[in-house]
Amino acid sequence: MDRHQAIYKLYPQVKSIHGNIAYDEHGNEVVYDENAVIVEMDKVAYIDKRVAEYPTIGDQLDALFHAGVFPQEMADKIQAVKNKYPKGSE
């Protein structure tokens, strides 16, 4: 979550942000608590850190396929696509 997203979440009356100034629907400045915004951002900071380090969804699904975790019907569908487009094909 970035700073603007945190402000919008904490202050629903905010309709736009220009620089560090937030405004309501009438163009009036909305005063917000910067510390509260930082706390809100920190609550979900782990999400971006995890996303950056997790293997891609494709790699995760491929690992599950190779481990034989999928139901046979799904495994057959995946194998059909792999057969249709083998590695190294264009």
For residue 89, the model assigns a pLDDT of 72
Alpha helices in 1-90 (DSSP H): 3-10, 34-43, 45-53, 57-66, 72-84
Answer whether residue 90 is part of any domain.
no
Angstrom distances, CA of residue 61 to CA of 6, 25, 64, 67, 70? 32, 45, 5, 10, 9
Q: What average pLDDT score do residues 2-10 get?
A: 97
With 0.75 as the threshold, say if the pTM is over it.
Answer: no
- Any idea what DSSP says for residue 20? T
Q: How do residues 49-88 score in pLDDT, each as one tens digit?
A: 999 999 999 999 999 999 999 999 999 999 999 999 998 8
Say yes or no: 35 and 60 in one domain.
Answer: no
Q: How do residues 24-47 score in pLDDT, each as one tens digit?
A: 999 999 999 999 999 999 999 999
Q: Which domain holds residue 10?
A: 3-53
For residue 68, the model assigns a pLDDT of 93
Answer whether residue 46 is part of any domain.
yes
